[in-house]
Chains A and B, each alone.
Chain A
Amino acid sequence: MTELGATAGAGADETGPPLIAMHGITKVFGSLVANDHIDLAIRAGEIHALLGENGAGKSTLVKILYGLLEPTEGEIRWRGEPVRLAGPQEARSLGIGMVFQHFSLFENLTVAENIAAAMPPDLSLAEVAAKARDVSGQYGLSVDLDRPVWTLSAGERQRIEIIRCLLQDPRLIVLDEPTSVLTPQEADRLFVTLERLAASGCAILYISHRLEEVRRLCSSATILRAGRVVATIDPRAVSAREIAGLMVGTALHDVVAGRGAAEGAPRLVVRGLSLASEKAHGQALRDIELAVRAGEVLGIAGVAGNGQGELFAALSGERLAHGPDVVAIDGKPVGHLGVTERRRLGAAFVPEERLGHGAVPDHRLAENTLLSRHGTGGLVSRGFVLADATRALATRIIETFDVRKEGADPRARTLSGGNLQKFVVGREILREPGVLVVNQPTWGVDAGAAALIRQALVDLARSGSAVLIISQDLDELFEMADRIAVIHAGELSAPEATGDLTRETVGLLMTGAAAPKGTVHAH
């Protein structure tokens, strides 16, 4: 373990035992050691970061801390006393609060009901609502308690989680990737709230992979890699690059972007695409216009739930547009054609969800090659599956994209997120598609895999394909995209060259606060 800098926070209480101390925490799932003898201590008033790649064991550790998982080995001490957390109720009664990454909310219930669901059962709904009103006033977290959750934005939803947490009068708040669904402006508001909480003596465990945030907010950080603690540091005293090195274990290469062809022919064109959502509380698309040219990467930024899934479905042909001309691939109208026909015209698609959408979890990799390639030749003959051909293709994908796996042809669900994503993206790129639409290419993927995927996408564009990337990760878009547009409430802003944009302007567009479409180009 390396010690870089001192572990001391500004408002931290330096005397006595730490508020919470985890000693030698180990968690084993089957043959996987998710946490391997982890030590972690947090003092009151301290904002402590838990850093690590996807798959490093952060989520497992916080689930243990919140009583959702039982550690296989190890001890938790609360104010010096050993405790056994049998469930979230016990964690909450000690004073541990949790803000989940994938919010633990109930879409069809009102805000007040959502808050009440986590409160002791002897309180009436009215009492819960009154308390919630107090807390939201006290911390400036405004939400309408009577609205159903499905009508709320990601930022508002997070506020509910935080209020729910604060109502328990917590001594320690755990936030799991809290800014991943927020705009930069919303994130700033969150930081203010967290700093106020810390100043009042509350300890905060802040989980993130965004190093700049951590360096700005946190006074100490524990870094995990492959289930082990590799360092405990003062993030303000260490550069982001050094921290990244500790997280990943090897030096990372930046994506070599190069400039995209400015005047390539448009290969994917969308004109006046409007589409009602088929989900109960989905986002309708409104009059979307876009064109992706040969050789360029077009990025679409936006907060989750603003129509990204619907846009992907309409572009891929999973849902059909209203007329043939609404979507065109290489000049051919395809709005009325399904996924397979669009693939035959040279398009390829990578959906957001790997397991269950981009791959069938319980199917082997060879079978999963069929999923998107059964209609484009080579794998099926007269209705019969050519098993050897699927195996050969799987092997080619695995070798070309460095997919790490156990066994000759494992089931998709046994792969790590990063490796499965490499397989899914590789399956499409190996076809050398003329148009590639990718939704959240590196969501929940480790840094090494993310770098490989991004480079492959950029290389594909440079070879003359049109690449459309829908992503919530602004860093990723600024790194790869030649132009960026923003989707908000089902509307798409006009794309701008990446060089002309700042994170702030994109952030404003993501909240819908900026001028509506069209006026951007008016000057």
Chain B
Amino acid sequence: MNHPTHEQIVALKRLLIPMADDEWMMGHRGSEWLALAPDLEEDLALSSTSQDEMGHAKVLYDLLHDLGEPSADYHVYFRPANRWHHARVTALPKSSWAEWVVRRYFYEMFDQVRRSALERIPYPPLVGALKKMDREEAYHADHARSLMDILAHGGAESYGYLREAITDDWAYLADLFEWIGPDESWASWDVGELAPSAMRTRFESQVHQDFAIWGIYWPEGVPLATRKARHHDSSPDLPALLDDMREVRNQAAKAHW
């Protein structure tokens, strides 16, 4: 599929915009932890991860640009709030360190599942981009697991923070598994793994296994989302995030910065 049809282009956009936006938000929120991690080594790992995530978002926005979308900078600096399609958990305001560790872990586990599904779409530019990302994301996933392990085996205080953060984030996980647009739009590729229910099952299986190792109570399955989960017509946190992120750019929107 070197030259996708109009329908395929629409379908690719519905799959890639959510992923690009998730990666951007994880990178953006991650960068807020710069110089605030518990030790310097962790700070270095964390800032590296944030850069990777923003870089992946840029790669995906560039792929979208090749499919007829506006530029990467437009997507970040000018797109209206109701045209962002990240899962809300990725953009939640900065909270506690334990919450960030838990958020990163859930996201990395989900992202593995999503990338392996997307890699089955026979669009070479996408497959090539995902292969490159895989190399970096493998480190992200290992690192996220290692931080969870510290929380789980680090004593009563850290275990308490871990339980609290899981409870806080669990309710937001549902949105991750939704795409935008109807399932029929990508049905022609016959990739069953793209179905939200399939992604949720694979994610739950991995997380359930990890929780058993860490002695964490399984809070039952991830709740189901509505099909509009990734639409942000009234997301409470998004306008403030966009205003902050665009504060400088908005001072002279068309200028060279």
A interacts with B = no
Q: What is the interface of chain A, defined by CB distance below 8 A to chain B?
A: none
